[in-house]
Structure 1
Amino acid sequence: MGHSQTEKAATRERVLRIASRKVRADGMTGPGVAEVMKEAGLTHGGFYKHFASRDDLIAQAAAAALTEGSATVERLAGKNQQDLRTGLIDAYLGKRHRDSPATGCALVTLGAAAGRGDQPLKESYEQRVRAYLDRFGGDDSEEARAEAMLTLSALVGATLLSRAVADPALSDELLETVAEQLKRQ
C-alpha cells in the first residue's frame, strides 16, 4: 500500500529536521544517511524516495539549519520586549545557546563549511548574515551598518570561542564579557 503525498512530505520534513539538527551539532561531514534514517524510524532503502543523494540531503539540511537556528534565537530574543537588540545579544550569548549547537544558530557551526562550500551553501549562509545585519542595522546609515557587522561578528565569534575552549570558566567569561561590551555600545 502506497503512502499519500502528505505522508511522504511529512516523512521528508522529519528526515530533513533530523539532518538539520545533526549538521548543526556535528558539521557537514558528520551525519550519515543510515544514522539519520534510523533516527527517523525509517530504513536506509527509503532514503532515495526523498533525496537524490547524501549531498542533496546535507545541502538541504544546511539551508534548513541556517533558517531554523536563527528562528530559535529570534524567538528567545523576543522575550525582551523593551529592547530587541539586547534580547538578541542575551539569547545568542546565553549558555543555553552555547550548550545546544544542535538547535542553535548555524552561522556558528557552519561558518567554516560555508567558507569552503559550494555556491548554494554560500548563498544560504549569506541570506542569514544579511537577515541579522538588517535586524541590527535599523536605519541603514553607514554607522549603523558598521555597528551591525561588528555586533554580528562578535556574537558568532564569542559563541564559537566559548564552545571551543576546554575551561568552563573561560567559556562563561567569553560570553559574559562580549555581551556586556555589546550592550554598552
Structure 2
Amino acid sequence: MGHSQADKARSRERILTEAATQIRDKGLDAVSIGSLMQRVKLTHGGFYGHFASRSDLIAAALQRALAAGEAAAHASRDPDKPVSLNSMARSYLSRAHRDSRKSGCAIAALISDVGRADEECRAVMEPHIEAFIAKVAEVLDDDGDVRAIMAVSAMIGALAISRVITDEKRSDAVLRTVRDGVIAMAADE
C-alpha cells in the first residue's frame, strides 16, 4: 500500500526536525541515517524516498536549524522596543543563550563543523551570517559594514568560546567582556 503525499511530507518533516535537533546538539557528524530513521520510526531504506543522500539531509537539516535559531531570536525580542546593538549584544551574549545550545544560535553552535563541511553546507550557512552582519550594519548605520563584521565575529566567537570554557565564572567573563566591547562600538558613533 502506498503513502499519500501528505504522509510523505509529514515523514520528511519528522526526519528534518530530528536531524536539525541532533546537529544543533552534537554537530554535523552526529547524524547517523540508521539511528535517525529509527528515532522517527521509519525504515532505513525509506530515507532515500525523502533525500538523495546524507549530504542532502545534512544541508536541509542545517537550513532548518539556522531558521529555527533565527525564529527564536526574533520571538525573544520585545516588539515595542527598537532593536539596538546594545539589546542584540545583551541577548546574544547572555548566560541563557550560552546554555541553550539546542535552541540558540545555530551559527555559533555549528560554525566550526560547517567550516570543515562541504561547499553545500557552507553555502547554506553563509547567507545567514551575511544577514546577521546586515542586521548589525543596519542597527549601527554602518554603510561599509566593517564594524558590523567585527561585532558579529566577536559575538559568534565569544558565544562559541563561552560554551567551551568549563569554569562558569571565566565563561561569564568572556561573555561580559565581549558584550561590553560590542556595546562600546555603538557608543563610538
With structure 1 as the length reference, what TM-score do the two structures score?
Answer: 0.88
| Contact 2:59/2:124 (8 A) holds in 1 | no
With structure 2 as the length reference, what TM-score do the two structures score?
Answer: 0.86
| Contact 1:79/1:87 (8 A) holds in 2 | no
Shift of 1:183: 2.0
Matched with 1:66 is 66
Matched with 1:153 is 153
Shift of 1:149: 0.8
Shift of 1:6: 1.4
Asked if 1:79 is matched to 2:81, the reply is no
Shift of 1:157: 0.7
| Contact 1:24/1:101 (8 A) holds in 2 | yes
1:112-166 Cα shifts (integer Å, max 9, x gaps): 2222222222221110111011111114522xx1121111111101111110011
The count of residues paired between Structure 1 and Structure 2 equals 182
Alpha-carbon distance in 2 for matches of 1:21, 1:95: 21
Structure 1 residue runs without a partner (length 5+): none
Helix, strand or coil: the match of 2:29? coil
Answer with 60-69 or 7-16: which moved more: 60-69
Matched with 1:107 is 107
Shift of 1:22: 1.0
Alpha-carbon distance in 1 for matches of 2:40, 2:15: 6
Asked if 1:93 is matched to 2:93, the reply is yes
Helix, strand or coil: the match of 2:30? coil
| Residue pairs, 1:138-149, within 5 angstroms | 138=138, 139-142=141-144, 145-149=145-149
Asked if 1:3 is matched to 2:3, the reply is yes
Alpha-carbon distance in 2 for matches of 1:89, 1:83: 14
Matched with 2:133 is 133
> Comparing both chains, which one has the higher relative contact order based on Cα–Cα distances under 8 Å and sequence gaps of 6 or more?
2
Q: CA RMSD in A?
A: 1.9
| Contact 2:69/2:103 (8 A) holds in 1 | yes
Structure 2 residue runs without a partner (length 5+): none
Helix, strand or coil: the match of 1:29? helix
Matched with 1:123 is 123
Tell me: CA distance 1:134–1:97, structure 2 relative to 1, closer, same or farther (3 Å). same
Shift of 1:57: 1.2
| Contact 1:162/1:175 (8 A) holds in 2 | yes
Matched with 1:25 is 25
1:18-72 Cα shifts (integer Å, max 9, x gaps): 1012111111111211222233233333222212222221121122222222222
Alpha-carbon distance in 2 for matches of 1:56, 1:176: 38
Answer with 158-167 or 112-121: which moved more: 112-121
| AA matched with 1:172 | D
Task: State the identity as a percent.
Answer: 36
